[in-house]
Amino acid sequence: MKAVVKTAPKDGAIEVTDRPVPAPGAGEVVIKVKATGICGTDRHIVHWDPSVQFMKPPVIFGHEFCGHVHAIGKDVQGLEEGDYVSAEMHVVCGTCYQCRTGRGHICAKTRIYGLHHDGCFADYVKVPASNVLELSAKIPPRVGGFLDALGFSASALQALEIRLDGETS
């Protein structure tokens, strides 16, 4: 498969290269990528900004996408090959205090696919099945490819009280 890889810990150092199609392990799904989104994090990766220097290249980057289930690992239920999906690429441990109390968004053991593990700038991406989200066929790939950014924006807007006169309070 073709993949966009951060090859070295320096500015630039990006290559489109051939990689093997990943095989799903237990609890994992391989998705054939249909569309991706590019966000500010990807720019930081390209330029090797300090905020991403915990990465250990080579890594396929990218973390916003949609596609179709290609292969399903052992013990995965509720998904079928061909399903139209996306995935939350922030994978939390599920066992720490924050995760157990409903605050997994601040899990100190969070691993991000596209930073800590290979991501979606490839023909196929492997992710935990528990992080896969089925999408409606009504959502076109051009929207499905950037749902992460859309969700973040919607959440930020909900935090504000928007008034009809355009002011915030």
Range of the domain at 126: 2-159
pLDDT band at 147 (very low <50, low <70, confident <90, very high): confident
Q: What is the CATH number of the domain that holds 17?
A: 3.90.180.10
Alpha-carbon distance of 24 to 36, in angstroms, equals 21
Do 29 and 132 touch, CB atoms closer than 8 A? yes
Q: How many domains does the chain have?
A: 1
Model confidence over 17-48: pLDDT tens digits? Answer: 999 999 999 999 999 999 999 988 999 999 99
Active site residue 110: no
Active site residue 101: no
Query: Could you tell me if residue 168 is inside a domain?
Result: no
Alpha-carbon distance of 6 to 61, in angstroms, equals 7
Phi, psi (deg, nearest 5) at residue 126: -105, 130
**Segment 128-145 mean pLDDT:** 94
For 26, the token pair is 């237990």
> Catalytic pick from 44, 68, 116, 117?
44
What pLDDT does residue 114 have? 96
Specify burial of residue 168 (Cβ count, 10 A radius: 0-12, 13-18, 19+): exposed
Kindly give the pairing relationship between strand 132-134 and strand 84-87.
antiparallel
Query: Could you tell me if residue 147 is inside a domain?
Result: yes
Query: Could you tell me if residue 169 is inside a domain?
Result: no
> Catalytic pick from 41, 63, 70, 90?
41
Model confidence over 51-105: pLDDT tens digits? Answer: 999 999 999 999 999 999 999 999 999 999 999 999 999 999 999 999 999 998 8
